[in-house]
């Protein structure tokens, strides 16, 4: 196995791994599965303008499912994005 070099920063490390095969540096057969139960994906707040009637309908649907309306909106968006990516995989 080759030695993994020391990196000055994440950009340098990212560039290195983009051009090198980790199998030359890590014996993946010896690795153990790691579980990180408390990791959360990074999120970014956005401002979104919706018609009031649409927002009320979203709140009604969320209330029926007993979830916050923002969470339901994320579920709907994730489902639609996955659907679009299946329909048009070459555009992703």
Domain boundaries, the chain: 1-30, 43-92
- Supply the pLDDT for residue 89: 79
Structure confidence at residue 14 (pLDDT): 95
DSSP the chain: -PPPPP-SSHHHHHHHHHHS-GGGT--GGG------TT-------------HHHHHHHHHHHHHHTS-HHHHHHHHHHHHHHHHHHH-GGG-
Q: Per-residue confidence of the chain (92 residues) as pLDDT tens digits?
A: 999 999 999 999 999 999 999 999 999 999 888 888 888 888 899 999 999 999 999 999 999 999 999 999 999 999 999 999 998 877 65
């Amino acid at each position: 196995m080759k030695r993994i070099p020391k990196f000055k920063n994440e950009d340098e490390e990212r560039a290195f791994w983009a051009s090198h095969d980790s199998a030359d540096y890590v014996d993946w057969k010896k690795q153990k599965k790691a579980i990180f139960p408390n990791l959360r994906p990074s999120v970014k707040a956005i401002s979104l303008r919706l018609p009031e009637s649409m927002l009320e309908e979203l709140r009604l649907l969320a209330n029926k499912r007993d979830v916050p309306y923002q969470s339901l909106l994320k579920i709907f968006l994730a489902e639609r994005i996955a659907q679009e990516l299946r329909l048009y995989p070459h555009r992703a």
